Structure 1
Amino acid sequence: MWKKIGVGVLLVLVVLGLWQRELVSYGWMQARGQLRILWNTKPVDEVLADKTYPDSLKQKIALIREIKRFAIDSLGLDKSGSYESFYDQQGKPILWVITAAEPYRLVARQWNFPILGTFSYKGFFEKDRADSTVAELKREGLDTRIGEVSAWSTLGFLNDPILSSFLDRPVGSLAELIIHELTHGTLFIKNSLEYNENLADFVGEYGALRFLAQKYGTSSPVYRDYLATKAFYERYDQHILRGTRTLDSLYRTFKPSTAVVVKDSLKWQTIRQIVVSSDTITDERSKDSIRLVKKRRLDKLNLPNNAYFIGYLTYRKQQNRFRQEFDTKFGGDFNRYLTYLKQTYPSL
């Protein structure tokens, strides 16, 4: 009897593997990449006790642990086993993410994953596989974008390590990153990528400001630099979001009879204007802050395409919604706001 059941289960798995061969192959690739990283991590306590590691690295690791404690104790994020191990990337990228969009509509390509739901991006631990996927999408006529990722969250399913690339970040950016990813492990809603990313951005920025104020004081250079960085990014984000609305309005004027050469001319003319006008965005950050935090200036020689603008719609479109709800409905009481979000939106 048990032999028959085993054979039946095996047959089902074989059929599923053939039916969803690409999904199974992708899942195996991602699992292998994740396991390779986890296999080569070191416990944080072991790193801190190892005399071969420099004090500067140990200080950043200790700071990450402090940020994590703050996120759990003061912000009320869920307890997590993440960031208790360390992975040395040896200066190499660790993950690549691709996005794609229709050429004359701001509509993203969607990928469906079991349990997690629908995503408008796809991650790869193998660069060759990412490049092959980009080539396939381009053959379909889609705008594409590929970028390196500095961090990711397994949403609490696994314990995420500290990556060596974290340690190059200034304190404010580091705090924002850790709190952002811990937010994903606390609240992640299926099939609501835009909501999840905007919420994690909001909590990351709010939490970073509170952490810096508590540790360094609101008059400290660290706090003032972070505020200046946020002010610059907010102006930049608003500029890009205005650009997406301009592009969307343009695309809506296109008719089926509009020639492709006309569409392309108007599209790239509009995008070029968005890029050129970004030079007017003011920046009060210190030189050290600009050096440490990658500056989001658009490249006039390599114009972004629709996939770039889709990224902003995914990550930044709902920022004001969270701020207004937090201030007006909850009077700036973050713990009450987080409790409300947990009770209102079922998480994975």
Structure 2
Amino acid sequence: MFKKIALGIVGVLVVLVVWQWELVQYGWMQGRGQLRILWNTKPVADVLSDPVYPDSLKRKIELIREIKHFAIDSLKLDESGSYESFYDQQGKPILWVITAAEPYQLIAKQWHFPVIGTFSYKGFFEKDWADSTVSGLKREGYDTRTGEVSAWSTLGFLNDPILSSFLSRSEGSLAELIIHELTHGTLFIKNNLEYNENLADFVGEYGALRFLAQKYGKDAVPYRNYLATKAFYERYDDHVLRGTKSLDSLYKSFKPTTSIVVKDSLKWQTIRQIVVSSDTITDQRSSKPVRSVNKRRLDKLNLPNNAYFMGYLTYRKQQNRFREEFEKKFGGDFQRYLTYLKQTYPSF
């Protein structure tokens, strides 16, 4: 009897592997990439006591520890074992994320994963595999975009390390990044990526401002530069979101009889106008942080496509919603707001 049961289980597993072979391959690749990183991390304490590492690097690591403590102690984000180890990327990218969208509709391709749900992007620790996936998506007619990722969250399943690429960031950018990722570990709703990313962006920016004000003061350069950066990106967000609405209206005006040539001409004409007019957005920072504004700004030589605009909507569309809800319904009381969010949107 036991032998029959065992053979039955093996048979079911074989069927599942064959049926979901691509997903099994992807899961293996992701697991291998995560384990490779975790295997090669060093405890933060070892890095701080190692004379080989420069003081400038150690100061940034100490700053990350302060930011994490602030996020847990003052913002009341969940306790986390993340950012207690260090991984040296040796100047190399660590993860690539691809997004895809329909060519004449603002509809993102979705990927479905067990447990964690549906995502409009897919990450790869191996560039060749990312490139191969992009080639396949292009053959299917999708607009695609590939971006290097500077950080990610395992949502509390693993303890995420400090990556060496973090340490080139300005104080405000670093605070926003760490608080953003810790927010994912505190509240992450299955099958609602847009909500999750917009919420983490909102909390990351709000938390960064509070941290900078507490540590440096509101008249200090780190606070003023971060505030100016936020003001710039709010103008930039508004510009891109207006452009996205223009694109959406254009696509909805297409008729079944509209030729591909006409669609392409009008599409790229509209996108080019969005890009060119972005030059009117002013930047009033007294000094540019290390991660330049050009990292996000539209590129005239390499026009973005629908995948860019859909990715942008995923991260920035609901910013005003969170800000208004926080200020009007909760009077700027972050503890009450976070409690409300946790009770209203249970995390998986």
Q: TM-score, normalised by structure 2?
A: 0.98
Matches within 5 A, 1:1-348: 1-289=1-289, 291-295=290-294, 296-348=296-348
Structure-2 separation of matches of 1:231 and 1:70: 24
Aligned-partner Cα distance in 2 for 1:197–1:55: 34
Offset from partner CA, 1:209-265 (integer Å, 9 cap, x none)? 000000000010110000000111111111000000000000000011001100000
CA contact (8 A) 2:198 2:315 kept: yes
Task: Report the AA paired with residue 243 of structure 1.
Answer: G
Deviation at 1:5, TM superposition (A): 3.0
CA distance in 2, matches of 1:49, 1:315: 38
The one-letter code of the counterpart of 1:249 is S
In structure 2, how many angstroms separate the alpha carbons of the residues matched to 1:6 and 1:224? Answer: 65
Q: Distance in 2 between matches of 1:286 and 1:20?
A: 53
Q: CA deviation at 1:301?
A: 1.4
SS at match of 1:268: helix
8 Å contact 1:109–1:120 — kept in the other structure? yes
The letter of the residue matching 2:292 is V
**Residues 167, 338 of structure 1: alpha-carbon distance in 2 compared, 3 angstrom cutoff:** same
Deviations 1:102-140 (A, max 9, x none): 010000000000011110000000000000000000001
1:302, distance to aligned residue in structure 2 (A): 1.1
Residues in 1 aligned to 2:268 and 2:325: alpha-carbon distance in whole angstroms: 37
Whether contact under 8 Å (2:276, 2:300) holds in the other structure is: yes
Give the SS at the match of 1:97. strand
Amino acid at match of 2:79: K
Letter in 2 for 1:169: R
RMSD: 0.9
Are the counterparts in 2 of residues 43 and 86 from structure 1 also a CA contact under 8 Å? yes
What is the deviation of 1:312?
1.1
Structure 1 residue 287, shift from structure 2 partner? 3.2
Asked if structure 1 preserves the Cα contact closer than 8 Å seen for 2:184 and 2:196, the reply is yes
Aligned equivalents of 2:246, 2:288: Cα separation in 1: 34
Contact 1:170-1:293 within 8 A present in 2 as well: no
Q: Distance in 1 between matches of 2:227 and 2:148?
A: 25
Distance across 2 between alignment mates of 1:2 and 1:54: 60
Q: CA–CA distance in 1 between the matches of 2:223 and 2:182?
A: 21
- Number of aligned residues: 347
Letter in 2 for 1:101: A
Q: SS of the residue aligned with 1:99?
A: strand
Structure 1 unaligned regions, length at least 5: none
Deviation at 1:294, TM superposition (A): 4.0
- Cα distance in 2 between the residues matched to 1:340 and 1:188: 14
Q: CA deviation at 1:3?
A: 3.6
In 1, are the aligned partners of 2:225 and 2:287 still within 8 Å (CA)? no
Displacement of 1:285 in angstroms is 1.3
Contact 2:180 2:203 in 1 (8 A): yes
- For residue 23 of structure 2, what is the amino acid of its counterpart? L
SS at match of 1:98: strand
> Counterpart of 1:146 in 2: which secondary structure?
strand
CA distance in 2, matches of 1:151, 1:292: 14
Aligned equivalents of 1:137 and 1:288: distance in 2? 37
Contact kept, 8 Å, 2:67 with 2:211, in 1: the verdict is: yes
Provide, for residues 141-179 of structure 1, a one-character-per-residue CA deviation record: whole Å limited to 9, x for no partner: 110000000000000000000000000000000000000
Contact map agreement 2:86 2:162 (CA 8 A) in 1:
yes
Corresponding letter in the other structure for 2:249: S
Q: CA deviation at 1:299?
A: 1.3
